[in-house]
Structure 1
Amino acid sequence: MPSYELSLMLRVLSKPELVSSLKRSAETIVQQGGVLRQFISIGTKPLPFKIRAHTQWHREGTYFLMKFDAPSSAVEHLNDEFKRDIDLIRTHVVKCEEPVKQECTLEEELKSPAYRKDVQQLVEESRKTVRKQFKQNSPGFDYYPFQK
């Protein structure tokens, strides 16, 4: 199952209401066959601009980030369920790509940039590209016809 990040922006609620809203969101993920991995509270902050959600204007919101694994077919259903929840202002589900592992040694880093393999590859790539010359659009006359 692929990993996903869900960013939640909730309206400002009392603590019991906030817990029940987050529990509903988590249960929705679990019902779709997902597994919760991490739950991060970012806090209550003013929104970057006024946002209208469910016929109300919001100026402040509580931010949360949930990391979970779920089948790819479940994401569309999750988005649909989150749009119906009146406590959620905005949600965004993003697929997490696994980071590319790069080997880095101290010996390689201590070399000057001209002798590093990755810099040499960049130099070779830049030599291969052919830059197009700028061609001025002219009417074909030896003089400029619009000059006084």
Structure 2
Amino acid sequence: MPTYELALVFRQLPRTELISVIKRTAEAILDKGGIIRKLENLGTRALPHKLSEHGVVHRTGTHFTIAFDSAPTQISDLKEEFGRDIDIVRRYVFKVEEPLDHKCTLHEELLPPAYRKDVQELIDIAKRKQKPKYNYNSGLDYYPFQK
């Protein structure tokens, strides 16, 4: 199962109600067959702009992130369920990509940029994408009627 990260913004709630909303959100993930890996509270902050959700304007919100594993087919059901919850102002689900293994040595880093392998690859790509010069089939390598 792939790993996802759920970014949530709850409306400003007292602590006891906030706990019940978090439990309700976590239970929804578990009911769909997900596994919760990490739950992180990012605190209550002012929103960058006022948000209108479920007919109410919100200016502050409590931010949470939940890292979980779930089947890809269940993500749309979770989004729909969180969209109906009146305590959730915003919800975003991101698929967590595995970081690429990039091995680098000091010798490669000390080379001038023009001699680095990745820069050489970029130069080759640019050469392949260059358009041929304009030619009137005149045998000349320049355009004789240049203004």
Q: What TM-score do the two structures reach when normalised by structure 1?
A: 0.84
Name the residue aligned to 2:3.
3
Q: Supply the RMSD in Å over aligned alpha carbons.
A: 1.6
Name the residue aligned to 2:119.
119
Name the residue aligned to 1:105.
105
> Would you say 1:79 and 2:79 are equivalent positions?
yes
- Counterpart amino acid of residue 109 in structure 1: E
Cα distance in structure 1, aligned partners of 2:132 and 2:44: 52
Cα distance in structure 1, aligned partners of 2:133 and 2:67: 49
Unaligned runs of 5+ residues in structure 1 are 135-148
Cα distance in structure 1, aligned partners of 2:81 and 2:132: 51
Cα distance in structure 1, aligned partners of 2:50 and 2:133: 48
Counterparts in 2 of 1:5 and 1:133: CA distance versus 1, 3 Å: farther
Cα distance in structure 1, aligned partners of 2:22 and 2:45: 17
Name the residue aligned to 2:25.
25
SS in 2 for 1:73: helix
Runs of 4+ in structure 1 over 6 Å off: none
Report the CA distance between 1:117 and its aligned residue. 0.7
Report the CA distance between 1:68 and its aligned residue. 0.6
Paired residue total: 134
Name the residue aligned to 1:42.
42
SS in 2 for 1:18: helix
SS in 1 for 2:103: coil
Cα distance in structure 2, aligned partners of 1:29 and 1:102: 34
Counterparts in 2 of 1:81 and 1:108: CA distance versus 1, 3 Å: same
Name the residue aligned to 2:143.
none
Please give the per-residue CA displacement for 1:79-129, whole angstroms capped at 9, x wherever unaligned. Answer: 111011111011111111211111111121111212111111111111111
